[in-house]
Structure 1
């Protein structure tokens, strides 16, 4: 309690007392849920006096309770106490309340025993990190996130429309950056205001598409937090400029989707990169980690591609890797090795969409790596550079198949906390039953008047 009050007092000294504080917690879909409190209610926040149902961690994408999770009304829908995550109190530069400052703070719900609820995606990532720490190892992580800016829509059924003057192929186009400078500058300024560490911001291939790269950090949880914050930040800044933004995996059929790439190296207790063998060839340890990520990719695809739209990225010609292959500096590979020697020796996992929950996606990447480190005899296919244009069998492009593979996976069961695999699968099955049963506009257009 005292730690938060001291953090809050320091915030007020720097930014002034906020008009309101936005209490946020991350659900299974990486949607932020929570409550607003007046800025003079810091004592209530500090002592966990704000409560919400624990089932709020695991709704479907529509925000509905999923009975099959075993949470919610089936067990009386008990509350948890929202407890602030230390160090997460930050200003909200794009928001204003009666002209005053707005603050946000990330929270976790604690159960009656005072523990973070096991349904928390952050807790799942911490669970995987603990397996590294038990071995005296610590991952170093950086993320890259892609997103689209588009014009505001009058109707939720409308397709997105790119900003005016957007070329159909704007990759690295400096004029696009010039035209969008005001909004991009505000995005970067807001990121720095929120203590993030963005590295570069570039124009990506699609019309209105951009990518941000973050610096590497050994604070893996902070890297995941920042990826979550950044999605909210971009949408907020875009609204302030009269635009909209999306991290949807594939908002346009004919243009590249939005990915979330995860770069990972691993250091030992002495700070030495365990992937660096001092040669120009990938070390045996790095190859083990790669083998683990590839071997678990089918099992965990439902984590990296959580939604119906996610699977539009897993098609030939979709600009995204869709086979469990690896390569050196090869962007067609699901796992790429940008550097294989020195302190920067690492792998880049390129499968996840920008729509993935960053805590669960990073947990899946790290879990696959540790699976490889613990199973040194896993086979590793040849790199794409040696495959003469051949690829491994493709990952599925079917949402239901991926979810059922995850639901039956012993790897997934052991990787996450007890019961979480089943909760996750139950949420996705509920979404599949609702979203795939809806009749689409294209079906009416094609069949209704012809058959």
Structure 2
């Protein structure tokens, strides 16, 4: 994009919670970005949900809070349509002085996994479905937004309602225009089960680009909502009695000739498909923390609430944690339905794709696919960790997660989450939304 229309721009990298951390710079600094001109303390990517340093973090106390170097990612600069003044954002990631990737950067965690696929001559294509709520946050508690047409609060559920899509047409139209400007390939939009809840699907493309899309999309959705007098949130469970927000990931794997390694010409899929499914199931207990990273996340996992509660898989069955959608054989893929909407997209995709690759490398065999309602069936598979504390403990010691994530990232994430767990314990649960509304 042309920078002659901007006086300033932002640079930002993702911290462990997926929040943007960076700086505002004058336009004259743009040509210097590829030279490592932007520095930030390593510890900035390891702050808690409030932006506070982690107590006793080795990034602070053993290194003297040293700086890492930020370099632009290959995504390129994008406009920031939610701001009044013309501004641009340059996505960045962090490196050491000697050029090594900083292992505590979540984007490097995903790159680490994708390099293992590349070593086999494979690339991963991913498409992401993002759910979010539009809300009114002006009171002491969250409430449904006003219907822009009637001026009255939303009432009644509107799943797949064209009427509700039309009511919020001004917001959705500007959102799609902004997605196009930011090169975020937004496809279909639908009204979901919750009051003021929507889902937008992002087009399949290279897995790293898909993660970049999801990270930028979350910032865009929230920013554009404020321009329309509302708030938007990806909290896993903003309303106790309404549907939660999830992030569903569809992925397939292509060989060096562009062939889908999951395609056997029919609906069943290849042995590689089932091995990848077995890996995804095996990765759920240890990976719970990256799929459900916050206190509020665990309110989403309730039977019958449009979110998986156990480790199961099935063909064309949305009650299972892992679904193999129907459709043409050449598009055979896996849908991973576990992650909450409040995730860091880089860590979530690293956990999903790393687990799938472990299944392939270990030639794991999945159990038989289920039929019928998964909520009514017990499985022999160990499922998700039932609470935040146990998810942290399991992630810290799980051997499969140790294959996927660097030791520094595992240690940093566990320290961060334990500090947040202690901090949230001092806040009444009914006020947790004030912490999470626009930070996740």
TM-score (norm 1): 0.89
Contact map agreement 2:315 2:323 (CA 8 A) in 1: yes
- What is the aligned counterpart of 1:75 among 56, 63, 67? 63
Unaligned runs of 5+ residues in structure 2 are 148-152, 432-440
The number of residues matched between the two structures is 424
Match for residue 48 of structure 2? 60
Q: 2:373 and 2:171 mapped to 1: Cα distance?
A: 43
Q: Specify the SS of the correspondent of 2:28.
A: coil
In terms of mean alpha carbon deviation, does 391-400 or 247-256 score higher?
A: 391-400
CA deviations over 1:151-181 (Å, ceiling 9, x no partner)? 2425xx5334333342331111111111100
What SS is found at the alignment partner of 1:22? strand
Name the counterpart of 1:404: 393
Residues 36-435 of structure 1 aligned to structure 2 (within 5 Å): 36-97=24-85, 101-153=86-138, 158-164=141-147, 165-217=153-205, 219-339=206-326, 342-385=329-372, 389-392=376-379, 394-435=383-424
Cα distance change, pair 439–144 in 1 and its aligned pair in 2 (3 A): closer
Cα distance in structure 2, aligned partners of 1:179 and 1:321: 30
Relative distance call for 1:297 and 1:360 in structure 2 (3 A) is same
Deviation of 1:381 after TM superposition, in Å, equals 3.8
Q: Give 3-state SS (helix, strand or coil) of 1:41's partner.
A: helix
Separation (CA, whole Å) in 2 of partners of 1:227 and 1:278: 31
CA contact (8 A) 1:69 1:427 kept: no
Q: What displacement does 1:22 show?
A: 1.0
Deviations 1:163-217 (A, max 9, x none): 3342331111111111100000011110010011111111111011000101111
Q: Post-superposition shift, 1:139?
A: 1.1
| 2:421 matches 1:436 | no
SS at match of 2:2: helix
Distance 2:376 2:99 in 1: 55
Shift of 1:281: 2.1
Deviation at residue 440 of structure 1 after TM alignment: 4.8
CA offset digits 1:90-112 (Å, max 9, x no partner): 11122132xxx211101122221
Deviant stretches of 4+, over 6 Å: none
Task: Provide closer, same or farther for how the CA distance between residues 222 and 207 of structure 1 changes in structure 2, counting only shifts above 3 A.
Answer: same
CA shift for structure 1 position 379? 4.1
Q: Deviations over 1:289-342 (max 9, x none)?
A: 111101111110111000000000112233211111111111101001103752
Does 51-60 or 73-82 show the bigger shift? 73-82
Q: State the secondary structure of the residue aligned to 1:384.
A: coil
Contact kept, 8 Å, 1:275 with 1:340, in 2: the verdict is: no
Aligned position for 1:11? 2
Q: Give SS of 1:212's match.
A: strand
Deviations 1:85-140 (A, max 9, x none): 2342011122132xxx2111011222211233111101000000011111111111
Max Rg structure = 1
Distance 1:22 1:245 in 2: 22
Q: Structure 2 CA distance, aligned partners of 1:153 and 1:386?
A: 39
Which whole-Å deviations, capped at 9, do the CAs of 1:258-283 have from their partners, x for residues lacking one?
A: 10000011111111111111123232
Shift of 1:47: 2.8
Distance in 2 (CA, whole Å) between partners of 1:394 and 1:361 is: 17
Stretches of structure 1 lacking an aligned partner (at least 5 in a row): 1-9, 443-451
What is the distance in 2 between the residues matched to 1:431 and 1:213?
31
Q: What residue is the counterpart of 2:150 in the other structure?
A: none
Aligned residue for 1:426, secondary structure, equals: helix
Question: In 2, Cα distance between the equivalents of 1:387 and 1:42?
Answer: 52
User: 2: CA distance between counterparts of 1:246 and 1:421?
Assistant: 27
Secondary structure in 2 matching 1:210? strand
**Aligned-residue offset at 1:244:** 0.7
Q: Distance in 2 between matches of 1:139 and 1:60?
A: 31
**2: CA distance between counterparts of 1:335 and 1:441?**
32
Distance 1:441 1:375 in 2: 44
> For 1:406, what is the secondary structure of its paired residue?
helix
- Partners in 1 of 2:375 and 2:141 — Cα distance? 43
Q: 1:388 to 1:62 in 2, by over 3 A?
A: closer
Assess, with a 3 A threshold, how the Cα gap between structure 1 residues 282 and 385 changes in structure 2: closer, same or farther: farther
| 1:39 Cα deviation after fit | 2.3
Structure 1, 59-68 or 356-365: larger mean CA deviation? 59-68
CA distance in 1, matches of 2:197, 2:115: 36
Asked whether the 8 Å contact 1:60–1:428 carries over to 2, the reply is: yes
